[in-house]
Structure 1
Amino acid sequence: MPQSPAAQAGRKSSRIQVRNRKRILEAALEVFSTHGYRGATLDQIAAEAGLSKPNILYYFEGKEEIHVTLLNQLLDAWLAPLRAIDPQGEPLDELMGYVHRKLEMSRDLPRESRLFANEILQGAPRMVPHLDSVLKPLVDQTAAVIEGWCVQGKLAPVDPRHLLFSIWATTQHYADFEAQVGVLMGEVDVHTGAAAHLEALFRRLLTPGLIVENS
C-alpha cells in the first residue's frame, strides 16, 4: 500500500498530487458543511471528489486529517479581516469596514462559515489549541485597541469582546442560516439590505455622543 503524503515528508508533490489534494478538500468542504463532522464519511467525500476511497487515503490518513486541514485553512482566512483593522485608522471606519468584510465572507464563503460553526457547536474538539494560541491573542489585541478608542472618546463606551461577538453573530447568521434567510426574504438582494442595516446598527451603537430618543 502506498504511503500517504503525510508519511512522505520532504518529497515534492507533483502537479497531479496538488490538484487531487485540492479536489479532495473542495469535496470535503461540501460534505462537512452539509452533514457536519459526525455525519460525513470518507465514502461521501470520495463520491463528491469523483475519486476512489483508497485514492483519498493515499493523500490523507483519514477523515479527521482532512477536517483539520480544512479548519486550519479556514481559520487563517477567517482571521484576515480582524487582522486588517488598523489601530491608527479612524475607529468607526475601521470597525464598519470589518463588519462589511465579515458580511462579504458570509456571502462568498457560506460553506466555510458552516464548517467552522459545526466545529464550535461540537465543543471545538479539533480546534481548541488554535483558538487558544491564535484566536485569543488576536482578540485580546483587538479588544485593547477598541478599548483605547473608547477611552479616547473616539467610540461610545462598549465592551470590546461583546462587540466582536455581536459582529460575528449578525454577519455569520446570513451564512449559517442561509436556507431560513432565503425563505423569509424571498428574491430580494439580501446582502445589500443586510449591509445597510448592520452599518446603521453598529454606527448607532458606536458613535460617541449619539442620543437615541425613545419613541
Structure 2
Amino acid sequence: MPRTAERLDEKIRARNIRIILDVATEVFSRKGFDGTRIAEIAELSKLPKANIYYYFSSKQEIYSTIIAHLIAGWDDALSKLRADRDPADALRDYVRAKLEYTRGNPRESRLFASEIIQGARFLSESDRAHMRAATDKYVAVLDQWMQEGRMVTINARHFFIMLWGATQFYSDFEPLACDALHRKTISAEDYHVAAETIVNSIVGGVIPSCSTDKLL
C-alpha cells in the first residue's frame, strides 16, 4: 500500500476510535456497563456495528480502554508528587492537576465511580494492582516528607482518600455540588476556587508553618 494511503488509513482509524470512545464514554457514564449495547454505540457513532467490532473485540474492551485512559490521567497528576520537591508545591500542583483532569473528563470520572459503586466487576485485576502500586509509591513519598519533618505526621493513605473524595465530588456528584453552589453548571472558576479551598484547608493543614502565599 502506498505511504499516502497508509497515512490516510491510520488517520481514519484514529478518528473512528476517538469517536467510538467518546460516544461509549457518554453512554457508559449514563447507563453503566450492563445497560449499554454495542448497537447503541454504533448508532450514535454513525458507524456500522461491524466497524465497532473491527476496532474493539468486545464491549468490555471498549470499557477497559476508557478506564485505562482515566487511570493514566490520574497517574499524570500523581507524578507531581516527588520526594525531591517542596511538599507544599507538590501537593498544590497535584490537587490542581487532579481537578483539571476531573473538569476535562467528567464522564470518565462518573463512569469509574459507577463501576466502583457496582462492585468493580469489570475493573481488571491488573488495573487494581496498578492503582495499589501507585498508591504505595506515593504514600512512600509522603512518609519520607514526614520523616524529614517537612510534613505533619498523619496517615498518608487516609490523606489520599480524603483528597480523592474532595477532587472527584465535583464531577461524580455534580447535581449536589451545583445545588450547594447555587449553580446550574460548575464553571472553570468554580474549579479554580475549589482548588484554592482544598489546598488552603486540607493541604495547608499538613505543611508545618505554611503560609497561604506559599500554597497559592
Structure 1 match to 2:168: 172
Q: Answer yes or no: is 1:127 the counterpart of 2:123.
A: yes
TM superposition score normalised by structure 1:
0.84
Residues 119 and 206 from structure 1, CA distance in 2 versus in 1: closer, same or farther, beyond 3 angstroms?
A: same
Counterpart of 2:112 (choices 103, 112, 116) is: 116
Distance in 2 separating the partners of 1:145 and 1:68: 29
1:6-59 residue CA offsets vs partner (Å, 9 max, x unmatched):
xxxxxxx63322221221111101111121112211122122211232322222
Q: Answer yes or no: is 1:31 the counterpart of 2:27.
A: yes
Count of residue correspondences:
199
Give ranges in structure 1 of 5+ residues lacking alignment.
Answer: 1-12, 211-215
Q: Partner amino acid for 2:78?
A: L
Distance in 2 separating the partners of 1:58 and 1:131: 24
Q: Partner amino acid for 1:22?
A: R
Structure 2 match to 1:86: 82
**Superposition CA RMSD, Å:** 2.1
Structure 1 match to 2:198: 198
Q: Partner amino acid for 1:92?
A: A
SS at match of 2:122: coil
Q: Where in structure 1 do 4 or more consecutive aligned residues deviate above 4 Å?
A: none
Residues 157 and 124 from structure 1, CA distance in 2 versus in 1: closer, same or farther, beyond 3 angstroms?
A: same
Give 1:143-182 correspondences, 5 Å limit.
143-182=139-178
Give 1:58-73 correspondences, 5 Å limit.
58-73=54-69
Structure 2 match to 1:213: none
Counterpart of 1:184 (choices 170, 180, 183) is: 180
Distance in 2 separating the partners of 1:109 and 1:73: 10
TM superposition score normalised by structure 2:
0.83
